[in-house]
Structure 1
Amino acid sequence: MAHLGLVALVVRDYDEAISFYVDRVGFDLVEDTPRPDGSRWVVVRPAGARETALLLARASTPEQHERVGDQTGGRVGLFLNTDDFARDHARMSAAGVRFVEEPRHEAYGSVAVFEDLYGNRWDLIQPRG
């Protein structure tokens, strides 16, 4: 197996999710294709990334709506690696991304937890060495 291609993230609305991930987090919009059933195939990924991306999947059932923002039970479930923690933390903070803790330096690298527009928790992390 070469790599993990897509990770689905259940969202409330395509356009608000695109706006958050592209305008605030700094991802690129890779694809936004209408589908015959009225849904859309929306893919975003970190600028410059070539492999793993997010499929923004609009909730379509009551069960899916209940999971928006809590797909991992309140724990960090997504990890955004950076090669310049200070730069990206400052840029994302200035763009309105809500960090729920101050940056910290661990044995594995520099990290801070942020929440997306729905409350899903992410690590912004610059791995050490």
Structure 2
Amino acid sequence: MIKVAMTGVYVDDVARAHAFYTDVLGFETRTSMDLGDGVPFVTVGASGGAQPDLQLLLEPGQGPIAESYRRALYEAGIPCIVFSVDDLAAEHRRLSRLGVRFPHGPREQGPVLAAVFDDTCGNLVQLVQPKG
């Protein structure tokens, strides 16, 4: 069986992304190290033991390929990643109170309720809750 172990999100500032993904979104730090020459390697994951074998790599988004890709997704309004939540309305309220900007709030989108927020690091992120 093959499972997803890690996926990455290009960010324009790894330290700021790390703070946002942990302090605001509530992820926990899984790995934080310097690969040399000041290149950070930072992963986060769901807190409380949820999904212990799945990590999100906060990848430096500098460079012509990553920067163009990240900017194109953002300008097109396409989320770079999708996270699931149990209660979208509650999470939308919590994050809004923390100052998170939502280009679109909760609404029905096919089989899910969905909202999109700005992660402050160059990306749009979608939150989904299955309907029913």
Write out the 4+ residue segments of structure 1 that deviate beyond 6 Å after TM superposition: none
Does residue 40 in structure 1 map to residue 43 in structure 2?
no
Residues 109 and 71 of structure 1, relative CA distance in 2, 3 Å threshold: closer
Match of 1:93 in 2: 96
CA pair 8-54 structure 1, distance change in 2 beyond 3 A: same
Matches within 5 A, 1:1-129: 1-48=1-48, 49-50=50-51, 51-71=53-73, 73-129=76-132
- Extract unaligned runs of 5+ from structure 2: none
Q: Distance in 2 between matches of 1:47 and 1:2?
A: 23
Percent of matched pairs sharing the same residue: 33
Report the TM-score when normalising by structure 1. 0.82
Q: CA deviation at 1:71?
A: 4.7
Higher relative helix content: 2
TM-score, length basis structure 2: 0.80
Question: Contact 2:84–2:128 at 8 Å: present in 1 too?
Answer: yes
Name whichever of 39-48 and 71-80 sits farther off.
71-80
Where do 5+ consecutive residues of structure 1 fail to align?
A: none
Aligned length: 129
